[in-house]
Amino acid sequence: MENRVKRLRRWTSAISLGGNSYDSGRGRREGSKSSWTELLTLDSEFSQERPGSFSSVWKPVWYTGWHTGVLACATSVVTVLFINIGLTIYATTNPEYEMERGTGTLYEGNCDKSRTIGLWLHLGINALSTLLLSGSNYTQQCLAAPTRSEIDAAHARRRWMDIGVPSIRNLFRIKLERTILWIAIGFTSIPLHLLYNSAVYTSLAANDFLVTAVTKDHFEPGAYSNITDALISNSYRSYNATSWGGSYDSQLFSSVLEGYDTSTQSYEDYTPSECTRLYNTDFVSDHRNLFLITKHTSNTTHNNTILDIIHVSGEGASPSSWMCDYDQAGGTGQVYTSSPPTCNPSKLTSNVTGGLPWRVMLTTGEEVEISGCKSERTAEKCKVQFSLGIMIVVICCNLVKACSMVMAVVRSREPTLVTLGDAIDSFLRIPDPTTMGICFADRRFIKREWRRGWGTGPRQWKKKEVHRWWTNVSKTRWITCNVFCLTTIIVAGALLRLGLNHDGTYWSTDLKSMGFGKVNSVSRVTLPIQSITQAILLANLPQTILSFLYLTYNSLFTCMLSGHEWSLFGHHHRTLRVTSPRPGQRSTYWLQIPYTYAIPLMILSGLLHWLTSQSIFLARVEISDPLGKETTTTINTVGYSCIAIIFVLTLGILALLTAGGMGYKLFAAEITTVGSCSAAISAACHAWGEGSEEIVGKKVHWGDVGIVPNLGVRHLTFSSQEGVRKPIFGEVYAGIGGEGE
């Protein structure tokens, strides 16, 4: 043993002087090569190149190690790129899809069908977005994984690096080329998630219409009706419109009547209950002008068959309130956007459907009973549209991401320690002299003592019980994830409360009727929005926040599962799980999160993104005049759905509780809590009594391997032999050598 300790000290001197290196697996010196060259020779499938060299000869390496996983991610990203390019080219070149000012129309017609198409398209977009997000996260974790030479350089300065988890810390200590690729992949995710969901959107078509109260003999031959007298005597009102009256409105109403006279086939007869159900909607898209037929006749108290006229606009809030608030419908400049209506059209509809009479108070103060309706039927013109400009931005970001991933596969050929197995394999083959003598070190010890260069020596094992999964996650990660998740949930809950209060002011109805992603006149944000671009950015801001939350949530699970894998080595003998296996080792197709966790996390992310796209969304409404000849108003704002927000909050709270429940699970055995700390992992890997090639090719077990001769204290390390025991509480342990010896 004494000879072995001397050999290790000679190897330490060789590292510090940058001269000869010692091959612990073969037991001989090799001259004229620096330590980093020896580290590169550990993985024969990688080419040797100087760490500072930016250019190198290309070699196919995608079939080795983590390159296979990154290649799969790159393939999925390239597939998404081709899908985006193909669909964009098809949509812009297809003569059936009209292009106007960078906006294409994929479908125009039935509003329910357009809403269904939009829902499924957004579901597909969020599936593709989830592929991009998960592939980016996987590749970034591989790029940020350190090489052994980078770890040795950091340990020499009493700094440590993350192993097996997503890390920003490592970016300041890894090769510049990998850092640039990491940043490129990360930053291209921002515009993708900020714009992708608004690349396709639905545009609702609504109609302004005239409501005319007439006598029951208005449509009989010879009935007397004077439009001019009706407009003057009945003080023609404009409901929910910002401008009303004037010669234009007179001509408009005259044209409506003429349209009825010349094309009566476009009008259909309805009962009062059918009429109230038909017009009890925010945006009337399949009907337009309406005649309310009263029980009055023109030869009794009225000498004109036209009793009253109002102009209803879909621009304001709750435009269907005219049905029970007819006498208040309008007035100079009155718009029901600042003050709620005094009636409930849904209640009126229910009453009339139940058999109660529909009575209307005219603007003249007279109350009349409605006996029937004539409504003008129109073709629906709701649209599913896409933005060519947004798709170009998405494609550009997608292209940069794909190129970065391909470069990560081709350029990164120096072996990196991606998984715990990679780190254990490396540290067992070539022990790290900076962590000798501290086999008991955990993450806390490294932060508080080792990094300050304080002397180390034998110490008692003070852990009495098996720790829980959450202890393997640093406080910074816990605080970051929990604070952001709780803040988001609290803010979303507060906004939901405001939304429910706002919606309840205008109507009382069940949440189901509001629907997912359904545009209505009330559930719209009140912020001043000047353009469709502002509406798009505001509507998709939660998508970007949700992507960041997914990354922190994924990082949380990665750390906990990494600790679980580490604890299994303290429970029984296990084969090393490495990215580039040798005989006696096993390969891996995942990093630190097994597929049993990774796939549900991806599904959770995709579902949350989709639900969020249905919770807050771009609301675009094109309102046509009563003649249907031109679009008088286009509304570009952000809508919200309270029922969808409730689903998002429920799923988010369940996800947070799930993480907490997972963190409460116990590890498999008593073992040091190393987290992702490279120095703590290194300290546990100073084997004794076995050759490095012998131990890494077998199943290994971490624990008490006995008393080290000439030191008089016990040692904790990995061993492939039988008889490894769990650490004994109160027992003194130390490594096979100390720095001061």
Per-residue pLDDT band at 77 (split at 50, 70, 90): very high
Give the residue among 288, 285, 278 at the shortest CA–CA distance from 255.
Answer: 288
Q: Between residues 484 and 256, which one has the greater pLDDT?
A: 484
H helix or E strand, kind and range, residue 120: helix 111-144
Euclidean distance between CA atoms 314 and 623, whole angstroms: 7
The type of residue at 447 is K
Give the residue among 400, 372, 143 at the shortest CA–CA distance from 271.
Answer: 372
b or e along 313-332 (b: 16 or more beta carbons within 10 Å of the residue's beta carbon)? Answer: bbbbbbbbbbbbbbbbbbee
The type of residue at 720 is S
By DSSP bridging, strand 631-640 and strand 267-270 are unpaired
H helix or E strand, kind and range, residue 716: strand 714-719
By DSSP bridging, strand 287-294 and strand 209-214 are parallel
pLDDT tens, 480-501? 888 888 888 888 888 888 888 8
Euclidean distance between CA atoms 488 and 656, whole angstroms: 12
Residue 428 phi, psi (nearest 5): -75, -35
User: Per-residue pLDDT for 399 more than 90?
Assistant: yes
Query: Token pair for residue 138?
Result: 């996987």
Euclidean distance between CA atoms 14 and 34, whole angstroms: 9
Residue 245, CA atoms < 13 Å, CB-side half-sphere: 10
Q: What is the distance between the terminal CA atoms of the chain, rounded to a whole angstrom?
A: 15
Euclidean distance between CA atoms 223 and 215, whole angstroms: 10
User: Per-residue pLDDT for 82 more than 90?
Assistant: yes
> 387 forms bridges with which residues in the sheet?
103
Euclidean distance between CA atoms 250 and 230, whole angstroms: 10
Euclidean distance between CA atoms 193 and 502, whole angstroms: 29
- Range in 105-114, 182-191, 260-269, 578-587 with the lowest mean pLDDT: 260-269
Residue with tokens 């949509």: 91
Distances (CA, A) of 628 to 210, 227, 264, 379, 622: 12, 21, 16, 10, 11
Average pLDDT over residues 160-189: 91
- Farthest-apart Cα atoms in the chain, separation: 125
In sequence order, the 6+-apart residues with CB closer than 8 A to the CB of 58 are 410
pLDDT tens, 533-554? 888 888 888 888 888 888 889 8
CB contact at 8 A, 537 and 194: yes
Residue with tokens 């990494």: 562
In sequence order, the 6+-apart residues with CB closer than 8 A to the CB of 458 are 713, 732, 733, 734
CB contact at 8 A, 680 and 672: yes
CB contact at 8 A, 485 and 553: yes
Domain ranges of the chain: 60-144+176-202+385-413, 208-380, 474-554+598-664
- This prediction has a pTM of 0.74
Euclidean distance between CA atoms 413 and 517, whole angstroms: 47
CA 592 to chain centroid, in Å, comes to: 21
pLDDT tens, 117-134? 988 888 898 889 888 988
Share of the chain above pLDDT 90, in %: 11
Q: What is the DSSP annotation of 460-521?
A: E----SPPBGGGGS-HHHHHHHHHHHHHHHHHHHHHHHHHHHHHHHH----GGGG-SS---S
Q: Quickly count: other Cβ atoms within 10 Å of residue 293's Cβ.
A: 23
Average pLDDT over residues 306-329: 73
pLDDT tens, 426-465? 999 888 888 888 888 888 888 888 888 776 677 888 877 7
Which sign does the torsion angle of CA 43, 44, 45, 46 carry? Answer: positive
CB-based burial of residue 69 (10 Å sphere; 0-12 exposed, 13-18 middle, 19+ buried)? buried
Q: What confidence score (pLDDT) does residue 149 get?
A: 92
User: Per-residue pLDDT for 342 more than 70?
Assistant: no
